[in-house]
Structure 1
Amino acid sequence: MKRNKMVETFDQDKLIAHKQRIAYHEAGHAAGIHLNNKARQLPPVFFKIIFKEMSSTTDTEIMAYQTTHDDCIARVEGGRLIELLPSSIDGLINELTEHSETTVQLVKDYMLAFEADIINLLIGPLAEAKHVADTDDELFNHQLVNLKALKNYGGSSDLALANDYLHSFSTDNQQKDKKLNELFTVAFDFVNNDANWAAINHLARYIFDSSKNIIGCEEVVSMLDQSVEHFQNRRTNARHHHYG
């Protein structure tokens, strides 16, 4: 009886840790979609967080999540600026034969949206990785958490989708790798930013404590904006206090 109680406690602790990891992962995606896009002056895009009831989650599903980020457990639905990828970005640009000022700006705007979507995909597993590092009192840096490591943080499907984007970016593998590493660095810096991390933290805790299966876009956006504003006000007050 005592042993069964210990097993039950261990399973419950594992489930809690698992749910926390997923909460940070999805909070990261949502923060990227709203805050990263906003910082890049990109248009708002609709999304929602869909979360499965976790009480019946099995060890097999937990393992599946950690290796593939199984979408039946949790996902952000929507949130992509570019839904239909062209077979080739170069081909898309070449189709725009009239190189007017408006056309050039359209191409720039498209590339901004293209890169933002990839960055926002990478922010999810990076947020989960930072949460795990903080929980284990470990360092969170580029050496310990690189692109390959993201598969350990539910990032396999995110990387697969990012690679779908890059297939239309270039046929040159070196060029694709260079672009992915460049965008990974941007995503890493986003997660490591104190204001962004405070917002991710706040949203992740809300997701974890929520009994909702769906958290809507307006609610998430309002929460993220309030969290960033609160962080900035607190930092400003601290500076005023420090300098008298």
Structure 2
Amino acid sequence: MQRYHQGNKNGLVDHLELTRQTAFHEAGHAAAIYLENKQKNLPSIYFSIHTRKSERMEDRLFARVDDGRLVGDLATSTLTEIAGDPDSSDAYGFQLACEADIINFFAGPLAEAKYVSIRDNEIFNINLLTPRAIIHYGGKSDINEVMSYLEFLISSPKQREAKLNALFAEAFHFVQQPGNWKSITALAHYILYNSQENISCEQAIEVLDGQYPYANIPWL
């Protein structure tokens, strides 16, 4: 789960805004990995946030959430066994894990989109977005991952599209919840102003749980 931005040599404001968008994008991923999974009583999983910062405006900005997936390799022998008995509890659990991962993929670009809408004084409305529109918010790799999951799970294109839209709506609702947005904002701020290039899972969870004091952020 990563977000790349190319800095703009023509202005500091553009560079700073791209940095902020990146922070919200990765904070959205991390928040969903921890909070959404927790709300659904899914297993807790390890993740970390890696950033590479530079004072040079022409440098490409980089941030990435490492790990954080409930489902690893989609082509394991275990999954073959599950496919042989699609009505088993293992198969149901696997589907829930896949759906949680998909929501987590969507949460990053949606958090970035919400930040941009607030910044630009625009309405953040699900009717103005589509799942594939997240490519405009650094979500090209995210939508590719989502489609890989869905193509593995669902053979019917029509049913696959319906599931895509349903999980996108769940991710949108997650980002929109005031408590979740507060946590995303806190973590984005922490990513921006923490001098570390590697933020551990424990550090991120402390922030998401409200243990990071932040107030009066001027750019929100």
- Do the structures match in fold with TM over 0.5? yes
Contact preservation (8 Å) 1:19, 1:54: no
User: What is the one-letter code of the residue matched to 1:194?
Assistant: P
Corresponding position: 1:173 with 2:157: yes
Q: Give the whole-Å Cα distance in 2 for the aligned partners of 1:192 and 1:37.
A: 16
Aligned residue for 2:147? 163
Query: How many residues align structurally?
Result: 206
Aligned residue for 1:41? 41
Corresponding position: 1:76 with 2:61: no
User: What is the one-letter code of the residue matched to 1:11?
Assistant: G
Q: Give the whole-Å Cα distance in 1 for the aligned partners of 2:206 and 2:12.
A: 32
What is the Cα deviation at residue 91 of structure 1? 5.3
Aligned partner of 1:116 among 86, 100, 106: 100
Higher helix residue share:
1
Q: Deviations over 1:38-81 (max 9, x none)?
A: 0110111111011112323537x47xxxxxxxxxx111000000
User: What is the one-letter code of the residue matched to 1:214?
Assistant: N
User: What is the one-letter code of the residue matched to 2:111?
Assistant: A
Corresponding position: 1:142 with 2:131: no
Contact preservation (8 Å) 2:132, 2:143: no
Q: Deviations over 1:73-109 (max 9, x none)?
A: 1110000000111389995434349x7xxxx332222
- CA spacing shift, 1:222–1:95, aligned 2, 3 Å: same
Bigger mean CA offset, 34-43 vs 10-19? 10-19
Aligned residue for 1:206? 190
- CA spacing shift, 1:209–1:43, aligned 2, 3 Å: same
Aligned partner of 2:136 among 152, 159, 169: 152
Aligned residue for 1:238? none
Contact preservation (8 Å) 1:89, 1:169: no
Q: Give the whole-Å Cα distance in 1 for the aligned partners of 2:142 and 2:68.
A: 13
Q: Give the whole-Å Cα distance in 2 for the aligned partners of 1:218 and 1:153.
A: 27
Corresponding position: 1:56 with 2:45: no
**Alignment map for 1:100-115 (pairs within 5 Å):** 104-115=88-99
- CA spacing shift, 1:182–1:89, aligned 2, 3 Å: farther
- CA spacing shift, 1:34–1:13, aligned 2, 3 Å: same
RMSD (Å) for aligned C-alpha atoms: 2.6
Corresponding position: 1:225 with 2:209: yes
Bigger mean CA offset, 135-144 vs 183-192? 135-144
Q: Deviations over 1:106-130 (max 9, x none)?
A: 2222111110000000000000000
Q: Give the whole-Å Cα distance in 2 for the aligned partners of 1:227 and 1:92.
A: 43
Q: Deviations over 1:197-237 (max 9, x none)?
A: 01001110111112211111000011111269xxxxxxxxx
Aligned residue for 1:13? 13
Aligned residue for 1:235? none
Aligned residue for 2:178? 194
Q: Deviations over 1:12-41 (max 9, x none)?
A: 211110110000000000000000000110
Contact preservation (8 Å) 1:86, 1:168: no
- Structure 1 unmatched runs, 5+: 1-6, 63-72, 229-244
Contact preservation (8 Å) 2:85, 2:91: no
Q: Give the whole-Å Cα distance in 1 for the aligned partners of 2:108 and 2:77.
A: 26
Corresponding position: 1:22 with 2:44: no
Contact preservation (8 Å) 1:31, 1:196: yes
- Structure 2 unmatched runs, 5+: 1-7, 213-220
